[in-house]
Amino acid sequence: MFSVIIPTYNRAHSIRATLDSVKAQSYRPIEIIVVDDGSSDETEAVVTDWSSEVCNQESKITLRYCKQVNAGAPAARNRGLREFNGDYLQFLDSDDRLHPQRFQRLTEAFEQQKADFIQTSIEWFDPATNQAVNTLWARPDESQVHLVLNGQFWANTLRGALRRELAKRIGPWTE
């Protein structure tokens, strides 16, 4: 199972598209944990409406919504770390979108390469044209693995996916 941790704060305007990109994954089962970091907008209503429309036995998607007092994205990610159950973990920001085959390809790579951590490239899109405007290419090497293991890896959270064991060994984000 792939677990997706999504911290969010006042993202009623964007989180549905993020959740839809998770729903579009070719891989199943998927567990989504949305940690609302004290939103004051309609984020909760958007997430719960989406969940009631999508999550069922047939979809093989579950969603847990957790609300906490505003403490920042790292604290919200840590809440998700305490909650997730999957074999693989993807952090996702509440305005990110996923390629529909991301989890399928990552799962295959985890198994074929016996990897604990996979870093991928990411693209930024112009919302008006939906055209890629920038790409950040993955260049994993031992120094980046060292940074991950020491909790110092910085990148867009979308870039990395981890096995459960590595996520638990690395431990929480610095709050």
* Nearest Cα to Cα of residue 175 among 37, 67, 74, 82: 74
* Nearest Cα to Cα of residue 82 among 147, 35, 15, 22: 35
Counting every residue written for the chain, the total comes to 175
pLDDT band at 93 (very low <50, low <70, confident <90, very high): very high
The stretches of the chain forming alpha helices (DSSP H) are 15-23, 43-54, 73-83, 102-113, 142-149, 164-170
pLDDT band at 150 (very low <50, low <70, confident <90, very high): low
Q: What is the pLDDT of residue 145?
A: 56
Quick check: helix, strand or coil at residue 119?
A: strand
pLDDT tens digits for range 10-29: 999 999 999 999 999 999 99
d(CA 174, CA 41): 26
Q: What is the pLDDT of residue 58?
A: 93
Cβ burial of 40 (10 Å; 0-12, 13-18, 19+) is: exposed
Q: What is the pLDDT of residue 129?
A: 75
Query: Is 0.75 topped by the overall pTM?
Result: yes
User: Is residue 153 pLDDT above 60, yes or no?
Assistant: no
Q: What is the pLDDT of residue 81?
A: 95
User: Is residue 41 pLDDT above 80, yes or no?
Assistant: yes
Compare 76 and 137 and report the one with higher pLDDT. 76
For residue 23, give Cα distances in angstroms to 64, 82, 105, 172. Answer: 14, 23, 16, 27
Mean pLDDT of the chain: 87
Q: What is the pLDDT of residue 162?
A: 92
- Residue 52: which residues within 8 A CB-CB, separation 6 or more? none
User: Is residue 148 pLDDT above 60, yes or no?
Assistant: no
Q: What is the mean pLDDT of residues 129-147?
A: 61
CA atoms within 13 Å, Cβ hemisphere of 116: 13
Q: What is the mean pLDDT of residues 32-56?
A: 97
User: Is residue 141 pLDDT above 60, yes or no?
Assistant: no
User: Is residue 100 pLDDT above 60, yes or no?
Assistant: yes
Q: What is the pLDDT of residue 171?
A: 85
* C-alpha torsion angle, residues 126, 14, 2, 79 (rounded to 10): 130
